[in-house]
């Protein structure tokens, strides 16, 4: 018979117990019951610490802002690495992105990335396309129609 942690009275629920567990129970050992509130406080403190470290390094914790930052960095890298390919229009639109862009702006960028992929298949823009797609999804989730 299992007892409540705060009393010696049985809870009325019979639970099968292994012989090793029964030996421990008979010797007076009580199961450990974690302090859930303390664990939650530790988790929140850890999340806050991580957010502070990310902010210190300039890493946005918001998925849309992070998507904007990632896309801007990767498009700039592709433009710099590909001086013979004209990615001017895509680059200009990506640079203009704000931390929380409108749905239409992100849709335009997805289209411009698709156009660049079709025009310059040798540039390997698959990752830029993935970043644009991730940003588009994040914006759609945060700005429902």
Ramachandran area for residue 81 (φ above 0: left; ψ -120 to 50: alpha; else beta) = alpha
The model's pLDDT over 15-66, given as tens digits with 9 standing for 90+, comes to 788 899 889 888 988 888 889 999 999 999 999 998 888 878 877 778 888 8
Global confidence as pTM? 0.60
C-beta neighbour count of 135 within 10 angstroms: 26
List, for residues 2-11, the tens digit of each pLDDT value: 455 555 555 6
Retrieve residue 44's tokens.
Answer: 């929140």
Cα–Cα distance between 99 and 131 in angstroms, integer?
Answer: 15
What is the predicted pLDDT for the residue at 89? 93
Classified as helix, coil or strand, 26 is helix
What is the spatial distance between Cα 132 and Cα 130, in angstroms, rounded to a whole number?
5
Quote the mean pLDDT of the chain: 87
Eight-class DSSP state of 83: T
Domain boundaries, the chain: 17-59, 63-142
């Amino acid at each position: 018979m299992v007892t409540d942690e705060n009393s010696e009275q049985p809870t009325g629920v019979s639970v099968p117990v292994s012989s090793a567990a029964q030996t421990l129970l008979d010797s007076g050992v009580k199961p450990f019951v974690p302090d859930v509130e303390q664990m939650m406080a530790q988790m929140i403190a850890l999340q806050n610490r991580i957010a502070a470290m990310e902010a210190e390094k300039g890493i946005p914790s918001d998925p849309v802002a992070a998507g904007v930052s990632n896309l801007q960095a990767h498009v700039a890298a592709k433009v710099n690495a590909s001086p013979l390919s004209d990615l001017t229009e895509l680059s200009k639109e990506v640079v203009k992105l704000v931390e929380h862009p409108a749905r239409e702006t992100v849709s335009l960028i997805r289209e411009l990335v698709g156009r660049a992929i079709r025009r310059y298949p040798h540039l390997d823009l698959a990752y830029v396309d993935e970043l644009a797609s991730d940003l588009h999804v994040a914006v759609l989730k945060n700005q429902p129609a």
